[in-house]
Amino acid sequence: MTSFKNILITGASSGIGEALAIYYAEHGAEHLFLSGRNKERLENVAEKCRYRGIKVDTKVLDVTDKKAMDAFIKEADQKAPLNLVYANAGVSTGTETCEHVYNTFNTNIFGVLNTITPAIEIFEQRKDESKKAVAITASIAGYHGLPACPSYSATKACVKAYGEALRERLKKEDIQVNVICPGFVRSRITDKNTCPMPFFMEANKAAEIIAKRIEKNRGLIAFPFAMRLSVYLLSILPNCISGFIYGKLPHKV
């Protein structure tokens, strides 16, 4: 059972966000606040959670909208003091056009900032003993720039480093920060992938791993282990060697 009772999740209409919402509905959370861009999918997730006897509020918004995110998080905290905020929303780049690259950076970096910054401000002002935590969904792709997805891997490397640094800075204020680096997990993003996806995992299994490790405040939650080890080793090799290896890997088509 979870010790986090009031939880906010962005990008909750599919993939890991949806799976996390359902996991917490089944494991003792009391109130969920879910956001996404697609109203129909978001309400479908909310109904699945309500069916399990939990309070659910939804908000259709884009995480790149700073004012809307600030209002959403503050309104949620007024309804039920938040214990855990997931900055989970993210996009893949697809074709590396100028428009797509900027959209990837805006969503995957500024969308994270728009989520965790107001949450941290609320947590810093709260002086009670309640649990306070933020979680950032990065990616295994954040360990090293991948030629198949330069913009995506760059944005995930950014939020991974930021989250790891925040964890140490906020520790003295008793605010937990966990950074999540999954490999290939079923989502609307992976449904479009044309490249091989080693160690592919279903979203419900990934959500269970994430939730249990956040409960233990692991800090960096990277999985599956074999993929984490592989990308870590590639990240510490000289560029001439890692570049040669990446050049031999199949790319998206």
Q: What pLDDT digit, counting tens, does each position of 31-47 carry?
A: 999 999 999 999 999 99
Measured in whole angstroms, the distance separating CA 15 from the mean position of its chain's CA atoms is: 10
Whether 109 maps to a domain, the answer reads yes
pLDDT of residue 184: 83
pLDDT of residue 188: 67
Whether 1 maps to a domain, the answer reads no
Whether 48 maps to a domain, the answer reads yes
Residue 154, pLDDT > 80, answer: yes
Looking up residue 41, the CATH number of its domain turns out to be 3.40.50.720
Contacts with 180 (C-beta within 8 Å, 6 or more apart), sequence order: 135, 136, 137, 138, 210, 221, 222
Q: Are 86 and 73 in contact (CB under 8 A)?
A: no
Residue 234, pLDDT > 90, answer: no
Q: Are 163 and 177 in contact (CB under 8 A)?
A: yes
Average pLDDT, the chain: 92
Whether 70 maps to a domain, the answer reads yes
Whether 253 maps to a domain, the answer reads no
Catalytically annotated residue among 24, 152, 232, 246: 152
DSSP character at residue 184: S
Contacts with 230 (C-beta within 8 Å, 6 or more apart), sequence order: none
For 108, the domain range is: 6-248
Buried b (16+ CB within 10 A) or exposed e, 13-24: bbbbbbbbbbbb
Say if pTM beats, i.e. exceeds, 0.95. no
| Total structural domains within the chain | 1
| 152 tagged catalytic | yes
Over residues 183-200, the mean pLDDT reads 68
* Residue 129: band (very low, low, confident or very high) from pLDDT cuts 50, 70, 90: confident
Give strand ranges (E) for the chain. 6-9, 31-36, 55-60, 84-87, 133-137, 176-182, 220-223
Whether 13 maps to a domain, the answer reads yes
* Residue 252: band (very low, low, confident or very high) from pLDDT cuts 50, 70, 90: low
